[in-house]
Amino acid sequence: MMTIVIGNAIIYLLARLSNYGAVAFLSFDLYHLLHGEIWRLVTFLFVPNTFDLFSLAISLYFYYFVGSVLEREWGTAKFTLYYLSGAVLTLLATVIASLISGNWHLMLSGTYYVNMSMFFAFAMLYPDMQVLLFFIIPLKVKWLAWANAALFAVDILRSLIWFNLSGILFPLIALFNFFVFFAPDFFHFAERKRYQHSRQSSSFRKTMHKEEAARHPYRHKCAVCGRTDADHPELQFRYCSRCTGYHCYCQDHIFNHVHFTDDQP
Minimal CA–CA distance to 32: which of 23, 124, 13? 23
With CA atoms as reference, report the closest residue to 181 among 40, 41, 70: 70
Q: Which positions ≥6 away from 95 have C-beta within 8 Å?
A: 30
93-111 average pLDDT score: 82
Of 246 and 123, more confident = 123
d(CA 83, CA 244): 86
Mean pLDDT of the chain, nearest integer: 82
Domains and CATH numbers, the chain: 1-184 (1.20.1540.10), 215-264 (no CATH)
Mapped onto helix, strand or coil, the DSSP state of residue 183 is: helix
Q: What is the mean pLDDT of residues 25-48?
A: 89
Q: What is the pLDDT of residue 222?
A: 87
**Model confidence pLDDT, tens digit, residues 208-233:** 556 555 555 677 888 888 888 878 88
Q: What is the pLDDT of residues 174-214, one digit of tens each?
A: 888 888 888 877 676 566 666 565 665 556 556 655 655 55
**8 closest CA partner among 69, 50, 39:** 50
